[in-house]
């Protein structure tokens, strides 16, 4: 009876979201098209792995941790949105601001390299589950194979095919996420009626919790992609699309983590890359295969996007002296080294540090622009806010730790 209710809820939610995504009025809306890219990046960065990490580490307080992560992401987004508003006024920038802009761009290019390693190692871990129990060796072998496929595509100008595949995978991911949340909602409702909702405390102290939160920033990363859509959308459209993507992602994340936090007790499962699959076995037998499908589509699309983005960004920064193909070779070389020398949780922490440094640079840039060229009304408040964000980002880059400590 309960299993039937969960399956029906999953089907209804999945079909409803699929219908919404393909609704012509929404699909053709310019604001929605601008929103899809950052939204897909945000919820694809660590959706499946983040829930188990927060539940295992923070217990029932996982929802608070998730809210703080989303708030931090939105705050960093405000700095980037302020910078977007100034993109059409480059002549107003000081030499210092231009140097910080260059540092931020190089930081993002480097962050892309690490994030691709993160995405593809998650891809390998979930793909290995198709063959049974988790296997680090098999997961790393699969990751290596996918790296070589992406490299071959990049070197032979095959990214156009991969990009077309990426568009399909985004829709698959959103539909599966809707089904997952619907299943968790029904499961939590049944547990609530039976007075079986779980409560548990935190494993870490205050300092350890803050350091772990710093190490998880990459899981709410992705909104910054709006900054680099200038060839398609106006500054106002990019700012609005970033806000909308972060609001939607925040709602999805909070619902997901809250439902996990009351459905599972801290320490009741083994924390590993694919823990969500084992956790969902008691909810629905259908969820396991669907989650593997969602993970593969999400990580592949994100990896392709960041590989392409890294190549384009380095080519732009070096004024064409370092081409996309050379960048792809470097990216794959670094990624393969990380694949075989670090685990997924460590790579997440490295990626978080890289993006935190990028956000710190963007926040410092916003503070400089507010001080030297911003409107006097509210200038001090903006400088203080963006300066504080720059310090927060720098602290996260230095002190962030992995979920395995």
Tell me the domains of the chain and their CATH numbers.
Answer: 1-399 (1.20.1740.10)
96 has a pLDDT exceeding 50: yes
Nearest to 355 by CA among 394, 329, 403, 385: 394
> Lowest mean pLDDT: which of 193-202, 288-297, 341-350?
193-202
Q: What predicted TM-score, i.e. pTM, was given to this entire model? A: 0.84
C-alpha span between 181 and 9 (Å, rounded): 9
143 has a pLDDT exceeding 80: yes
What local confidence, expressed as pLDDT, does residue 405 receive? 44
Handedness of CA 300, 173, 246, 255 (dihedral sign): negative
Q: pLDDT-based confidence at 215, cuts 50/70/90?
A: confident
C-alpha span between 53 and 247 (Å, rounded): 22
245 has a pLDDT exceeding 80: yes
Calculate mean pLDDT across residues 252-265.
85
Q: What is the DSSP string of 336-365?
A: HHHHHHS-HHHHHHHHHHHHHHHHHHHHHH
C-alpha span between 40 and 174 (Å, rounded): 8
Burial of 80 (0-12, 13-18, 19+ CB in 10 A): buried
> Lowest mean pLDDT: which of 273-277, 338-342, 391-395?
273-277
Q: List CB contacts of 193: < 8 A, sequence separation 6 or more.
A: none
**End-to-end Cα, the chain, rounded Å:** 41
Q: Higher model confidence: residue 354 or residue 23?
A: 354
């Amino acid at each position: 009876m309960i299993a039937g209710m969960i399956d029906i809820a999953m089907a209804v939610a999945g079909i409803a979201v699929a219908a919404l995504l393909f609704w012509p009025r929404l699909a053709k809306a310019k604001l929605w098209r601008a929103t899809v890219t950052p939204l897909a990046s945000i919820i694809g960065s660590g959706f499946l792995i983040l829930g188990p990490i927060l539940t295992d580490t923070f217990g029932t307080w996982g929802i608070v941790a998730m809210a703080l992560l989303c708030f931090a992401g939105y705050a960093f987004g405000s700095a980037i949105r302020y910078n977007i508003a100034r993109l059409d006024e480059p002549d107003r920038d000081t030499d210092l601001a231009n140097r910080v802009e260059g540092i931020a761009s190089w930081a993002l290019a480097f962050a892309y390299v690490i994030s691709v390693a993160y995405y593809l190692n998650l891809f390998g871990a979930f793909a290995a589950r198709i063959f049974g129990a988790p296997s680090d060796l098999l997961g790393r072998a699969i990751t290596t194979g996918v790296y070589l496929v992406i490299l071959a595509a990049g070197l032979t100008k095959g990214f156009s095919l991969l990009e077309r595949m990426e568009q399909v995978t985004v829709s698959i991911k959103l539909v599966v996420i809707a089904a997952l949340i619907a299943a968790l909602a029904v499961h939590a409702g049944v547990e609530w009626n039976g007075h079986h909702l779980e409560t548990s405390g935190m494993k870490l102290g205050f300092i350890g919790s803050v350091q772990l939160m710093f190490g998880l920033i990459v899981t709410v990363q992705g909104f910054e992609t709006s900054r680099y859509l200038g060839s398609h959308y106006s500054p106002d459209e990019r700012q609005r699309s970033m806000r909308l993507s972060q609001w939607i992602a925040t709602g999805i994340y909070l619902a997901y983590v809250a439902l996990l936090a009351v459905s599972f007790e801290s320490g009741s499962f083994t924390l590993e890359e694919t823990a969500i699959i084992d956790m969902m076995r008691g909810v629905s037998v259908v969820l396991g295969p669907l989650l593997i499908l969602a993970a593969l589509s999400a990580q592949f699309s994100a990896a392709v996007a960041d590989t392409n983005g890294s190549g384009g960004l380095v080519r732009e920064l070096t004024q064409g002296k370092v081409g996309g193909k050379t960048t792809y070779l470097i990216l794959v070389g670094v990624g393969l080294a990380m694949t075989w020398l670090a685990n997924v949780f460590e790579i997440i922490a490295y990626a978080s540090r890289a993006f935190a440094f990028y956000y710190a640079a963007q926040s410092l840039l916003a503070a400089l622009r507010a001080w030297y060229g911003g409107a006097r009304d509210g200038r001090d408040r903006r400088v203080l806010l963006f300066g504080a964000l720059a310090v927060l980002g720098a602290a996260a880059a230095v002190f962030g730790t992995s979920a395995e400590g």
